[in-house]
Amino acid sequence: MTEDTICAIATAPGGALGIIRVSGPESLSIVDKVFVPVHGARIPERKPSSLVFGAIRTSTGEVLDEAVVSVYRAPHSYTGEDSVEISVHGSSYIMQQVIQLLVRNGCRTARPGEYTQRAFLNGKMDLSQAEAVADLIASRSAATHRLAMNQMRGGFSKELRALRDRLLHFTSLVELELDFSDHEELEFANRDELHQLADEIEHVISRLTDSFSTGNALKNGVPVAIIGETNAGKSTLLNALLHEDKAIVSDIQGTTRDAIEDTISVEGITFRFIDTAGIRHTEDTIENLGIERTFQKMDQASMILWMIDASSPQEKFREITEKILSHCDGKKLLILFNKSDLITEAKAQELLQWMDAQKQHQDRKDWQHLFISAKQNLSLDELEHWLVKSAALPEVSQDDIIVTNARHYEALLHALDAIRRVQQGLDNELPGDLMAQDLRECIFYLQDIVGEVSSQQVLNNIFEHFCIGK
């Protein structure tokens, strides 16, 4: 793969300038065939890290565009290969014509993530750093940006390598004992020191796996399900929070048949709102499928906004309470009395007393409630404040190591199982050959995260989700 020279547009359409990236062994000579500098040496003779002004010319000598070319020589480039970046005007026509010229002269178009994959294969970064590149591009908040920067700088990798190196030292001592199995009295690996190390590593890996729930919320957004009876105003609330007409709003019951999702950032925290089908008894097969999906989304959410029509709450509340409560355990729940602009102050006080009675009856003292009007945007600031407070996500700096990648999380779980077997083996005084196997397995999964043992299939699955040009 790395013997090919690749090219791709690296900038989004619509800008004033566009950049075409070229990387590979023939990148300098191929660009030299289509680019003529205004003065000075041709591209292959240029010094590394130099900028050259000139013109892109077609095979007939016609000037396609003026351009600035950046020259990078291996290994001092993003990919670790000879590379060139061509800056032209942002016209999609011009950029596509440049790509066609490069392809006709020996390039091939790059696959998604191929530049970063080459950087990994050429030792410019390890696999966790490469994955952080995609996270950095996709970051939507200050917290996700800081986490991606920390991982891209190698903070996560350094911690894992430190654990691996200490494990390797003791593993080699344990295996050395096996070479002298005829002398059972020999013990190269001090069992007390090994137990202490296993305890330390178990603590570190447990901390990393425990951080995944926070990392996942920061990366993908805190999932918030908006539920309730039909026509309670769920879709209106979603549209109000998003400041756009994402969901269809209608007086006809059962309009929302499927879950609708979108995200917003509130005080630097990303929330993923899920508008669900209204819960009611219906003979409509499609609507019932939507209601079943509502319960599934409730199970996936960490916060639930229960919408109740404040003008007539009691009957609907009794009808759907039992269906809802079993899906609310262990989640932050806020009951929203919507359409509060249509009721009197006396009615509001009556609802508060009624709600207190329901809390006692259901033994749900942790229930919280808020009067809002999604249509009139009343008390939505208070709702957003509740969301931020209830999310309780920590402040994140670029020095924090928080797991955000599902592949890393799975590997850490396997490593955690292995090191706990080592602890149990030490407690039960198991022979060294059994403990050595568990130590090796823990090392294997730690190495897998940074890409030292990853298969080609794993690499392909990772990089195919990158954007083209990166």
Task: Check: CB of residue 141 under 8 Å from CB of residue 218.
Answer: yes
Task: Check: CB of residue 38 under 8 Å from CB of residue 11.
Answer: no
What structural domains does the chain harbor? 6-124 (3.30.1360.120), 142-211+401-451 (1.20.120.430), 222-391 (3.40.50.300)
pLDDT at res. 375: 86
pLDDT at res. 34: 95
Nearest to 159 by CA among 205, 194, 123: 205
User: What gap in Å lies between CA 446 and CA 160, rounded to an integer?
Assistant: 6
Tokens matching residue 189: 């690996």
Give the Å distances, CA to CA, from 202 to 113, 162, 317: 34, 14, 47
Q: For residue range 25-64, list pLDDT tens digits in order.
A: 999 999 999 999 998 889 999 999 899 999 999 988 899 9
pLDDT at res. 256: 45
DSSP code string of 88-128: EES-HHHHHHHHHHHHHTT-EEPPTTHHHHHHHHTTSS-HH
pLDDT at res. 248: 45
Nearest to 143 by CA among 314, 265, 293, 272: 265
Cα Rg, the chain, nearest whole Å:
30
User: What gap in Å lies between CA 351 and CA 348, rounded to an integer?
Assistant: 5
Please classify residue 281 by burial: count the beta carbons closer than 10 Å to its beta carbon, then call 0-12 exposed, 13-18 middle and 19+ buried: exposed
Residue 171, C-beta contacts closer than 8 angstroms, at least 6 positions apart: 436, 439, 440, 443
User: What gap in Å lies between CA 9 and CA 416, rounded to an integer?
Assistant: 42
Query: Phi then psi for 445, rounded to 5 degrees?
Result: -75, -30
Give the CA count within 13 Å in the CB-facing half-sphere of 238: 25
Nearest to 405 by CA among 372, 347, 454: 454
Give the Å distances, CA to CA, from 426 to 167, 199, 286, 322, 446: 15, 11, 57, 49, 21
Nearest to 307 by CA among 255, 235, 254: 235
Task: Check: CB of residue 280 under 8 Å from CB of residue 293.
Answer: no
End-to-end CA distance of the chain: 16
pLDDT at res. 254: 45
- For residue 452, what is the DSSP state? S
Give the Å distances, CA to CA, from 80 to 117, 121, 132: 11, 9, 18
User: What gap in Å lies between CA 457 and CA 315, rounded to an integer?
Assistant: 56
State which residues of the chain have pLDDT below 50: 180, 182-183, 185-186, 188, 248-258
Tokens matching residue 161: 């390598």
pLDDT at res. 82: 95
Q: What pTM was computed for the model?
A: 0.74
User: What gap in Å lies between CA 74 and CA 42, rounded to an integer?
Assistant: 18
Strands 108-109 and 35-37: unpaired
Task: Check: CB of residue 423 under 8 Å from CB of residue 198.
Answer: yes
- Among all chains, which residue has been given the structure tokens 């020095």? 399
pLDDT at res. 353: 84
